[in-house]
Amino acid sequence: MSKIIWSKIDEAPALATYSLLPIVNAFTKAGGVDVVTSDISLAGRVLSAMGLAEDELSKLGEVVLEEDGNIIKLPNVSASVGQLKDCIAELQGQGFDIPSYPENPANAEEEAIQAKYSVCLGSAVNPVLREGNSDRRAAKAVKKFAQNNPHRLKAFPENPKSYVAHMAGDGDFYGNEQSVTMEKGQKVTIALNGNELATIDAIDKEVLDGTFMSVAKLKTFIAKSIEDAKENGVLWSIHLKATMMKISDPIMFGHAFTVFFQDVFDKYADTFAQLNVNPNQGMSDLEQKIAGHALENEIKEAFQAVVESDNPEIAMVDSDKGTTNFNASNDVIIDASMPVVVREGGKQWNRNGDAKECVAVVPDSTYAMFHAEMVADCVKNGQYDVTTMGSMANVGLMAQKAEEYGSHPTTFELAEAGKVTVTAQDGTELMSFDCEAGDIWRMSRAKDIPIKDWVRLAVERGQIEQVPVIFWLDENRAHDAQMIKKAKTYLADLDTDGLDIQFMDITSATRFTNARVRAGENTIAVTGNVLRDHLTDMYPILELGTSAKMLSIVPLLAGGGLYETGAGGSAPKHVDQFLAEGHLRWDSLGEFLALAESLRFIAKKHDSAELQAVTNALDIANDGYLDNNKAPSRKCGEPDNKASHFFVAQYWADALAKQTEVPALAEKFAPVAKALQDNEAKIIEELLAMEGNAQDIGGYYHPNDELAEKAMRPSATLNSIIDAI
């Protein structure tokens, strides 16, 4: 029997799995496929780091190197320090004997504990599993549904004032970047004033980038953006990726927080130092640190005085709770937050819950140029028309920790001013940088084999779609200049006859793509790792209403497949609603689509008529799910995620009963289809009976499996039908 590994992860998609996986296995086993779970949740990784659980992530890291490796990866938490601490506290409360996370290690023992836990922070999962490049696009049925059932994009106001502010290459990562392509494999050492920071094993033909963010210029830029927002009468907000860029972006967030409230941080500097206040973790952490201190109320009043002064209003994460953009570094994640700014007509929410125009502050221009052009395009041309807009498909370079998302081990907050050098083992100085104390220096890498595969995948997608293929590469960026040379070399070895392949800088590529989108035309964007994330949230959220409905396929270099199921950015709010009233509004369409592609991969590889029939029937079920609009309602008391799983099962069984290619499967599933149809009203009644009731599942990060399954499988009728297959 073939095997698919279904990742056990966090929050709403993890809850949905308790309901969906029994249904999935009941059907796939009929096609000779067993679906098993692997726990790579944050809690699972924490327990593994402490030696109390198997290291499932490392095991999956071996699976992706196998020829038949097949993984369905649901969205997992890219943990901030705050989330890690909450997870540890929950596990301790459940009786696990694990130490607390030492933010400021006082001795060697605490340093060792911090090091063990550090592997759980940020993007711990993706670099291990992504041993292939990314192919993301909207399935035709999903696109058709979105056009026929358009979600609302709010119009930009007349004479709009919204804009994106960035450093424009003046002291940012983009402006300071240097890049080289290795001519042979050897050790490479990064040093500050001759003192080693790190040594890596670079390989032949690998692209190495070095760059830094000038903190002095960052602070000047932040201060100016605040003044400009005040003059323009718009909300102020900071947009970073502090989850994936777990070293650099929390530091930038901390500087923004400090600059906005400079007087408060100056006045209470000694108190904050005594309490180990770290501005990188935001206001929520600061409030916890000062709780019970003699100056607590005075400090809170000082912050409030700045908010109520003539400074610009700060954009809110949650107006009802009074949570600002400064609450925590991971509250506003740029690839999820910027599409909302565009969707809402260039607006965010103020303290009163009113939508107001804003300046979105994205310090590093490397990717800010994309968001700046997206907002500028709508300011100039108005909002998009969901019913007619074209699609952006993306081929993204991400295999083997490509580019910035793999830079954590080589990112440093410099302890002193001086020269950072990058030197090869043979004595060649590859790069050098004159930096100041506190500057954020980083090295990124992109290996040659993934780059070659990325170019091949782009051409393959272009041949299938027959639309322009645009490499989003800027010849004025040091890294991109190296990539352009490589891409053109590898393109020469491929069959590109009849294809429209172009290279464009970020702004030009955005304008080109947007013009086609507005004309109802499709385009393939070929991008690096980080930009892939930005594009494959922005365009799908505008086109489809959510990025979770995108097909996200990773053809693995070794021959297997990784099938990702969409974004989990809104998952925490979904869980909050479920715990309060038993209603889970998570849409599992991403899982349905990923499963179909995963099964298709196995069916083709093993030439299985039974599995092909099961896969074809799932395709029909997915179409039925969309055509009949069975997505979960947002409102308690109406069908939710559990009901959507029932309808997919009903459509899937019906399609299998009606197919003629494998009579044995038709005979097996005909009574199942009849039972699901005859009992529909009863099943829906049983599913809705729990709506409005608070749920106890034994934990947020580490729920009790028995309690969670009971909450997510409340229909005895449905369970008996499924379990009997």
Kind of pairing between the strands at 429-435 and 418-424: antiparallel
**Cα-based angle 584, 700, 696 (whole degrees, multiple of 5):** 65
Q: Could you tell me which of 128, 111, 137, 1 has the C-alpha nearest to residue 73? A: 128
pLDDT for position 183:
95
Query: How far is the C-alpha of 53 from the C-alpha of 46, rounded, in Å?
Result: 9
pLDDT for position 57:
96
The token duo for 17 is 């799995």
Coil, strand or helix at 638:
coil
In contact, 46 and 98? CB cutoff 8 Å: yes
> Cα 21 vs. chain centroid, distance in angstroms?
23
Query: How far is the C-alpha of 510 from the C-alpha of 370, rounded, in Å?
Result: 6
pLDDT tens digits, one per residue of 316-354 = 998 988 899 999 998 889 998 999 999 999 999 999 999
Inform me whether the pLDDT recorded for 252 exceeds 80: yes
In contact, 529 and 405? CB cutoff 8 Å: yes
Inform me whether the pLDDT recorded for 567 exceeds 80: no
Q: What's the average model confidence in pLDDT over 687-715? A: 97
Q: Could you tell me which of 689, 618, 613 has the C-alpha nearest to residue 647? A: 618
Query: How far is the C-alpha of 552 from the C-alpha of 561, rounded, in Å?
Result: 11
Residues 6+ apart with CB under 8 A from 542: 153, 339, 342, 343, 384, 386, 389
Which residue carries 């409102």 as its tokens?
Answer: 635
Q: DSSP string spanning 227-290?
A: HHHHHHT-EEEE-B-TTTSTTHHHHHHHHHHHHHTHHHHHHTHHHHHHTT--GGGHHHHHHHHH
Q: What's the average model confidence in pLDDT over 102-120? A: 93
Query: How far is the C-alpha of 48 from the C-alpha of 56, rounded, in Å?
Result: 8
> What is the band of 568 on the pLDDT scale with cuts at 50, 70, 90?
low
The edge-to-edge listing of strands for the beta sheet with 207-213 is: 178-181, 207-213, 440-446, 411-413
Instruction: Enter the pTM of the model.
Output: 0.90
Helices (H), 423-505: 448-465, 478-491
The token duo for 446 is 């992109």
Inform me whether the pLDDT recorded for 569 exceeds 70: no
Query: How far is the C-alpha of 267 from the C-alpha of 269, rounded, in Å?
Result: 6
The token duo for 474 is 């800027």
Helices (H), 492-559: 506-518, 529-544
Query: What type of residue sits at position 74?
Result: L
Q: Which residue has the higher pLDDT, 82 or 343?
A: 343
Coil, strand or helix at 493:
coil
pLDDT, mean over the chain: 95
pLDDT tens digits, one per residue of 389-401 = 999 999 999 999 9
Q: Could you tell me which of 393, 399, 398, 439 has the C-alpha nearest to residue 420? A: 439
pLDDT for position 24:
98
In contact, 533 and 127? CB cutoff 8 Å: no
Q: What's the average model confidence in pLDDT over 504-517? A: 98
How many C-beta neighbours within 10 Å does residue 397 have?
Answer: 27
Inform me whether the pLDDT recorded for 624 exceeds 70: yes
Kind of pairing between the strands at 195-202 and 440-446: unpaired
Q: Could you tell me which of 311, 292, 395, 427 has the C-alpha nearest to residue 359? A: 311
